[in-house]
Copies of this chain bind each other. A is one copy, B any other.
Amino acid sequence: MTMSPFMQVAYSEAQASFNEGGLPVGSVLVHDGEIVSTGRNRQEQTGSNLLHAENDALERAGRRERRFFRACELYTTLSPCPMCSGSVVFYEIPRIIVGDCTTFAGEVEWIRSRGVTVDLEESQECIALLQRFIREKPDLWRKIVAD
């Protein structure tokens, strides 16, 4: 399946993180058809506990009124973990679009139960990039998800 234009931007962010030695996940926050901010996982790069891709995009959006976030959409290459799902629910972002819900199922059910629309693109590019990371850096993947 061809990626949608905003997912292509999120994928570029994921590639950038991969090239920096980080987890290849990228996100884009969109308001009224325009990009507000982009983000990528920066845990390995910066030592942050919070800067998953979705949180990074939200942080780079800067302070806004709550009604601004209520009119946004969030594109993300990987299904969001509980932390970033909580951020989506808190900021009442009404719709997220997920590139890869195969490698990691994330919190799709919980987010939907809170009224957020979740569209699954199942992009082969997003899936392949993360699978490559897991194959090439199994110890780092294990540290991130298990140990």
Chain A residues packing against B (C-beta within 8 Å): 43, 47-50, 55, 58-59, 61-63, 65-67, 81-87, 89-91, 107, 110, 114, 143, 145-147
Residue of B nearest to A144 (CB): B66
Of all chain B residues, the one with the shortest Cβ separation from A61 is B49
Number of identical monomers bound together in the oligomeric complex: 2
Contact of A47 among B62, B85, B89 (CB under 8 A): B62
Q: Which residue from chain B places its CB closest to the CB of A48 in the assembled complex? A: B59
Given contacts A43-B63, A49-B63, A59-B49, contact A86 B91 (CB under 8 A): no
**Bound state CA distance, A114 and B107, in angstroms?**
12
Residues of B with C-beta under 8 A to A87: 50, 82-83, 86
Tell me whether A143 and B86 are in contact (CB under 8 A): no
Q: Which residues of B contact A114 (CB under 8 A)?
A: 82
